[in-house]
């Protein structure tokens, strides 16, 4: 299986993702330049964290117009797996591939710390190796992580099981104090209706080695590998 | 309005640019004629204190700069230290005090941007930023504004440029009220074969400007930074930083350097195009001719003077091999940046500035770079030292428990989580010891088993009360912090922040500090690889406390062996390496009681080196599983911090034949608190004995409180201290959020910590 990591001007999580996928997990991986349009030779596309286009206007607002995004859209429509982390999540929302939008963190300041997220859905390609309700410890680092959807959209997300991660306490309870950025309904990650596109604010690639204090992030990548193996889908949609 | 040479002489225009009459005469003599307006402006910035080190250079020969690990000492954009495996670390510290006092967000942001360019201009990929900050008292609204603005500027720039901010220190003292200190240190890693240098060699090679366009911002910034701040100081336009352009510039420059076509490259910092062109020519013994009309500009009608002196950010000067111009342009175009040929390398030793066909300025490189006078200012031991040394010690505290809590809550000692939570410190997926976890930051060096340890330290109260020993201690403490994570100290960069050097008392402090740093660096084998001198840090004639910040790097052969400062588990033994002495001078404890006085603690550099070697050995052997040095607040604060960070209590029994407040809160140097499994105590004692270092078992870890029994120590508390972890944590973690966000802000820091505890 092969991963493609999209590099926008201003992406900074691309190298970390590359390192984890290749050096830690032994996967095949390549960078895909924001001007490129050929993505169909990979099995999973990743939109990494960072500050694409300097977060001008709003995070993700410019990146959605990058030439590669048309290819990402087609890839997703054909059922390809797309994972957006941090700024990648913001881009997917701006591009309309995921519902919702982002406000500045409650308290306005940038937040860099370790948080707990609860796995709400295990029937996605990104979480199938997790237990229902499993609590993962992952780092966050963002200033616009306050996820927002209106009441109707929230109800729909709940109904269709699209809320994949929620911020929680160490023991898995939802609490305001455990919601770092004020996200609506404690939402830390959502998928699309077809469940092949996931956005999450926390960084699984920064929690994939014992040396860094948590390996919970590996569950996301193990799930993807599992899902691809199960679907027999290797290289090419 | 540009003056003619004649008008310059008539109006003594150099004075407004910060030059003295004698300096002007020297320029005329070295040029062999009167300068024109543009030439005078170029000299004024390059001969400013900020660029020319006029008052400090005469002492630099004292610094030890050589060692087998040193690949590049002072003189380049940054120092380079060998890490083995074909890799090297590139690092440097720089101040951005004056801009930050005026515009804290942009001042701090461009400070980070500037020091990062010093790193990647050497071919290294930046992997970490640290900072050392000083502010006045947090009770002051203006100080809180500056503090919040500086932290958010560092956060805004560093996070967006994609480099983790992994460590640093913040201290508060009234002497910094009107003149905060903002020093940023950056660290990069480079393969030996890609090391680049700032040289303009090879006659006929093109000279190119790459990166952002040139505007009118920051003109005469270096001169501004070389003057005292007064309410009527004329403030230049502070440069604005753009981390997005910088991120693109990092990628483009590294790609360019790795392509093999670069002869020399240098960032445009203070004094912009003037300093980069002149310094690159100076290092190569060449000359440069450039045409300002070929410099991409973002404003209309800029004069040669403005183009040469602009401090617009995110620009570099590159000398590539002749014939590779298009390749350079293609690389920058790929990253959405401009690259323009503006001139050629010559062999006539002149920096010649053309405006089309007209010669706008022509100055001898040797003169403008190295011709500034070197002053050896008068120095005099300040009179205040006679008073501070004889200060009377206060009576012992009424309530020891409350005193410990007050110390933990003092802003300088209190947890800086409010600060580092705003810095992306996990970016890079390589931060092994994060802020708040250990005495130094540790990064894994990808592709190896090694770890890079980083710290920046200075206790300015020690330096104020005893400049020479205080500066020694700054180096010793930095090395101790590096050793406490298990790494071997390698080298330093020094951020020297002082008042007006033309005042004999200030220059005496500086002279003493340089000597102190040199002695400690020699004793601990950590050569000086470069640094920065910031003078004139005064407001209303009042100088800051002398503040020589020591940025240090160290190497762990096996990063898996690193340790943090917190206890690892209950039932371990707590052992003190080093010995307690009857000292209270210069302590935070005295300051808490309203006394800035006494002498800086004693320092025996031989003992210091032995203690550090011992702790490194115990960590490498897997025996010491935590290590934390005794610094501000002394032994009691060190123990409390190890408890808070781990969420594990401790029971301590320690005795002395001198007063108990000195035992608990005195800041005697060369002491490290470690923890180890009970079965390893004998081995600790054996190694300590062999190293000639006293060691004492203080107690054991466990429980949910810190208990300290001082036995028969004179003037001790009536009954042993016992403070719950929760109380300790609340005192230590609450202060800064409370000052910055009110009582409601505290919970987010205290509550989160308790929920994080269950993590592992």
Scanning the structure block, which residue is given the tokens 């300088």? Answer: B412
B680 has catalytic annotation: no
For residue B635, the surrounding DSSP H or E stretch is helix B634-646
**What is the structure's pLDDT at A232?**
73
Scanning the structure block, which residue is given the tokens 């209190």? Answer: B414
Best CA proximity match to B369, nearest among B503, B278, B273: B278
Give the C-alpha separation, A103 to A181, whole Å.
9
Reported as a pLDDT band with limits 50, 70 and 90, residue B21 is very high
DSSP A176-232: GGG-SS--GGGEEEEE-TTS-EEEESS-GGGSSBGGGTB-TTHHHHHHHHHHHHHHT
Chain B residues with CB-CB distance to A114 below 8 A: 756, 759
Using the Cβ of B498 and the Cβ atoms of chain A, whether some distance falls under 8 Å is answered with: no
At B135 the three-state DSSP class reads: strand
Best CA proximity match to B319, nearest among B204, B188, B194, B214: B204
pLDDT digits (tens, 9 = 90+) for B77-120: 999 999 999 999 999 999 999 999 999 999 999 999 999 999 99
Q: Do B759 and A170 touch (CB under 8 A)?
A: yes
Chain B residues with CB-CB distance to A49 below 8 A: 427
Reported as a pLDDT band with limits 50, 70 and 90, residue B754 is very low
Using the Cβ of B274 and the Cβ atoms of chain A, whether some distance falls under 8 Å is answered with: no
**What is the structure's pLDDT at B476?**
98
Chain A residues with CB-CB distance to B759 below 8 A: 114, 137, 170, 214
Reported as a pLDDT band with limits 50, 70 and 90, residue B221 is low
Taking CA atoms, B50 is separated from A158, B56, B307, B515, B544, in Å, by 60, 10, 20, 21, 17
Which pair of structure tokens corresponds to residue B218? 């920051």
The conformation of residue B545, written as its DSSP 8-state character, comes to P
Mean pLDDT, residues B254-282 taken together: 95
Mean pLDDT, residues B362-369 taken together: 98
**What is the structure's pLDDT at B232?**
59
Give the C-alpha separation, B339 to B527, whole Å.
37
**What is the structure's pLDDT at B231?**
59
Give the C-alpha separation, A235 to B748, whole Å.
46
Q: What's the mean pLDDT when you consider all of chain A? A: 96
A146, A105 in Cβ contact below 8 A? Answer: yes
Q: What's the mean pLDDT when you consider all of chain B? A: 95
B282, B346 in Cβ contact below 8 A? Answer: no
Using the Cβ of B707 and the Cβ atoms of chain A, whether some distance falls under 8 Å is answered with: no
Q: Do B248 and A9 touch (CB under 8 A)?
A: yes
Scanning the structure block, which residue is given the tokens 């951020």? Answer: B495
Q: Is A74 exposed, middle or buried (0-12, 13-18, 19+ CB in 10 A)?
A: middle
pLDDT digits (tens, 9 = 90+) for A129-164: 999 999 999 999 999 999 999 999 999 999 999 999
Taking CA atoms, A5 is separated from A65, B245, B419, in Å, by 17, 21, 32
pLDDT digits (tens, 9 = 90+) for B119-131: 999 999 999 999 9
Q: Which residue has the higher pLDDT, A88 or A234?
A: A88
Reported as a pLDDT band with limits 50, 70 and 90, residue B755 is very low
CB atoms within 10 A of CB B621: 14
**What is the structure's pLDDT at B467?**
98
**What is the structure's pLDDT at B269?**
82
Q: Do A177 and B426 touch (CB under 8 A)?
A: no
Q: Do A110 and B424 touch (CB under 8 A)?
A: yes
Q: Which residue has the higher pLDDT, A43 or B223?
A: A43
- Report, in this order, helix, strand and coil percent for chain B, each rounded to 5: 40, 25, 35
DSSP B108-164: HHHHHHHHHHHHHTTTPEEEEEEEEEEES-TTSHHHHHHHHHHHHHHHHHHHHHT--
Distance from CA of A133 to the nearest CA of B (A): 16
Mean pLDDT, residues B725-753 taken together: 90
Which pair of structure tokens corresponds to residue B387? 């008073």
**What is the structure's pLDDT at B241?**
87
Angle of CA points B375, B493, B114, to nearest 5°:
90
Distance from CA of B437 to the nearest CA of A (A): 11
Q: Do B755 and A203 touch (CB under 8 A)?
A: no
Q: What is the largest CA-CA distance in chain B?
A: 87
**What is the structure's pLDDT at B756?**
45
**What is the structure's pLDDT at B758?**
36
Mean pLDDT, residues B641-655 taken together: 98
Question: What radius of gyration do chain B's Cα atoms show?
Answer: 26
Q: Do A212 and B752 touch (CB under 8 A)?
A: no
B744 to chain A: closest CA residue: A107
Q: Is B193 exposed, middle or buried (0-12, 13-18, 19+ CB in 10 A)?
A: exposed
**What is the structure's pLDDT at B236?**
62
Give the C-alpha separation, A154 to A185, whole Å.
8
Chain A residues with CB-CB distance to B752 below 8 A: 113, 177
Best CA proximity match to B246, nearest among B410, B398, B121, B143: B121
Q: Do B155 and A109 touch (CB under 8 A)?
A: yes
Q: Which residue has the higher pLDDT, B223 or A226?
A: A226
Reported as a pLDDT band with limits 50, 70 and 90, residue B752 is very low
The structure's pTM equals 0.96
Mean pLDDT, residues B297-323 taken together: 95
Q: Which of B213-217, B469-473, B579-583 has the lowest mean pLDDT?
A: B213-217
Using the Cβ of A174 and the Cβ atoms of chain B, whether some distance falls under 8 Å is answered with: no
Is the pLDDT confidence value at B229 over 90? no
Distance from CA of B107 to the nearest CA of A (A): 18
**What is the structure's pLDDT at B230?**
63
Q: Which of A10, A13, A170 sits opposite B758 (nearest CB)?
A: A170
At A64 the three-state DSSP class reads: helix
B467, B508 in Cβ contact below 8 A? Answer: yes
Q: Which of A54, A169, A209 sits opposite B160 (nearest CB)?
A: A54
**What is the number of CB-based contacts under 8 A between chain A and chain B?**
110
Share of chain B above pLDDT 90, in %: 93
CB atoms within 10 A of CB A128: 16
């Amino acid at each position: 299986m092969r991963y493609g990591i999209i590099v926008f001007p201003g992406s900074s999580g691309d190298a970390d993702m590359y390192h984890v996928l290749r050096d830690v997990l032994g996967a095949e991986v390549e960078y895909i330049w924001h001007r490129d349009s050929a993505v169909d030779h990979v099995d999973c596309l990743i939109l990494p964290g960072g500050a694409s286009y300097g977060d001008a206007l709003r995070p993700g607002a410019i990146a959605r117009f990058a030439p590669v995004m048309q290819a990402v859209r087609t890839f997703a429509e054909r059922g390809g797996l797309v994972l957006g982390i941090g700024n990648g999540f913001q881009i997917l929302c701006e591009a309309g591939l995921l519902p919702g939008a982002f406000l500045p963190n409650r308290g306005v300041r940038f937040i860099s710390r370790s948080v707990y997220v609860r796995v709400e859905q295990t029937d996605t390609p990104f979480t199938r190796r997790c237990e229902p309700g499993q609590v993962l410890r992952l780092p966050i680092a963002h200033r616009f992580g306050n996820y927002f959807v209106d009441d109707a959209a929230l109800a729909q997300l709940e109904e269709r099981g699209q809320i994949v991660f929620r911020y929680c306490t160490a023991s898995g309870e939802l609490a305001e104090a455990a919601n770092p950025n004020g996200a609506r309904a404690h939402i830390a990650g959502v998928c699309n209706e077809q469940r092949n596109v996931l956005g999450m604010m926390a960084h699984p690639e920064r929690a994939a080695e014992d040396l860094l204090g948590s390996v919970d992030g590996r569950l996301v990548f193990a799930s993807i590998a599992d899902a691809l193996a199960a679907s027999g889908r290797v290289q090419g949609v | 309005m540009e003056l003619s040479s004649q008008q310059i002489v008539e109006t003594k225009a150099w004075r407004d640019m910060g030059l003295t009459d004698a300096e002007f005469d020297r320029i005329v003599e070295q040029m062999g004629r009167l300068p024109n307006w543009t030439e005078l402006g170029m000299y004024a910035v390059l001969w400013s204190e900020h660029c020319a080190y006029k008052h400090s250079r005469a002492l630099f020969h004292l610094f030890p700069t050589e060692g087998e690990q040193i690949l590049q000492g002072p003189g380049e954009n940054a120092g380079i230290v060998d890490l083995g495996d074909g890799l090297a670390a590139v690092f440097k510290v720089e101040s951005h005090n004056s801009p930050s006092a005026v515009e804290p967000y942009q001042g701090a942001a461009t400070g980070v941007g500037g020091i990062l360019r010093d790193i990647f201009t050497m071919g290294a990929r930046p992997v970490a930023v640290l900072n050392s900050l000083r502010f006045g008292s947090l009770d002051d609204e203006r100080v809180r504004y500056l503090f919040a603005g500086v932290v958010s500027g560092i956060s805004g720039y560093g996070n967006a440029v994609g480099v983790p901010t992994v460590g640093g220190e913040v201290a508060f003292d009234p002497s910094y009220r009107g003149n905060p200190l903002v020093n940023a240190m950056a660290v990069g890693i480079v393969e030996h074969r890609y090391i680049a240098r700032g040289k303009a060699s090879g006659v006929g090679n093109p000279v190119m400007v790459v990166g952002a366009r040139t505007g009118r911002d920051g003109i005469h910034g270096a001169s501004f930074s070389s003057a005292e701040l007064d309410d009527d100081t004329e403030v230049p336009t502070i440069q604005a930083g753009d981390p997005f352009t910088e991120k693109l510039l990092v990628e483009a420059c590294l790609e360019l350097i790795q392509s093999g076509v670069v002869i020399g490259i240098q960032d445009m910092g203070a004094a912009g195009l003037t300093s980069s062109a002149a310094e690159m020519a100076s290092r190569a013994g060449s000359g440069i001719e450039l045409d300002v009309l070929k410099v991409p500009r973002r404003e209309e009608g800029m004069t040669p003077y403005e183009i040469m002196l602009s401090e617009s950010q995110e620009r570099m000067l590159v000398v590539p091999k002749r014939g590779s111009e298009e390749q350079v342009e293609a690389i920058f175009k790929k990253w959405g940046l401009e690259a323009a040929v503006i001139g050629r390398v010559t062999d006539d030793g002149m920096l010649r500035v053309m405006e089309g066909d007209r010669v706008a300025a022509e100055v001898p490189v040797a003169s403008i770079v190295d011709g500034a006078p070197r002053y050896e200012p008068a120095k005099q031991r300040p009179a205040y030292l006679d008073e501070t040394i004889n200060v009377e010690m206060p009576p012992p505290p009424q309530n020891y428990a409350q005193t410990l809590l007050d110390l933990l809550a003092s802003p300088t000692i209190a947890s800086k989580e409010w600060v580092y939570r705003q810095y992306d410190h996990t970016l890079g997926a390589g931060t092994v010891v994060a802020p708040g976890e250990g005495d130094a930051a540790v990064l894994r060096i990808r592709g190896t088993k090694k770890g890079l340890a980083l710290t920046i330290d200075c206790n300015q109260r020690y330096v104020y009360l005893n400049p020479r020993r205080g500066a020694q201690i700054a180096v010793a403490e930095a090395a101790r912090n590096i050793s406490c994570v298990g790494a071997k100290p390698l080298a330093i960069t020094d951020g020297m922040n002082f008042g007006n050097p033309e005042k004999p008392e200030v220059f005496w402090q500086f002279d003493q500090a340089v000597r102190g740093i040199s002695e400690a660096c020699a004793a601990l084998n950590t050569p000086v690889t470069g640094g920065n001198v910031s003078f004139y840090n005064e407001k209303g004639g009042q100088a800051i406390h002398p503040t020589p910040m020591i940025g240090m790097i160290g190497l762990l052969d096996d990063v898996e062996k690193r340790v943090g400062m917190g206890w690892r588990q209950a039932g371990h033994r707590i052992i003190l390496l080093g010995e307690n002495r009857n000292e209270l001078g210069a302590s935070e404890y005295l300051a808490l009681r309203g006394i800035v006085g006494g002498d800086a603690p004693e320092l025996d550099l031989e003992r210091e080196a032995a203690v550090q070697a011992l702790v490194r050995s115990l960590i490498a052997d897997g025996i010491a599983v935590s290590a934390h040095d005794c610094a501000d607040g002394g032994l009691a604060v060190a123990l409390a911090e190890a408890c808070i960070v781990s969420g594990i209590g401790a029971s301590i029994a320690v005795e002395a034949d001198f007063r108990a407040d000195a035992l608990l809160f005195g800041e005697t140097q060369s002491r490290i608190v470690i923890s180890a499994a009970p079965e390893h105590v004998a081995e600790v004692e054996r190694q300590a004995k062999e190293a000639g270092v006293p060691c004492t078992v203080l107690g054991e870890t466990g429980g949910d409180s810190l208990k300290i029994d001082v036995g028969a120590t004179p003037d001790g508390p009536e009954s042993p201290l016992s403070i719950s972890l929760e109380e300790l944590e609340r005192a230590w973690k609450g202060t800064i959020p409370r000052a910055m966000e009110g009582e409601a802000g505290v919970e987010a820091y205290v509550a989160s910590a308790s929920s994080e505890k269950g993590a592992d």
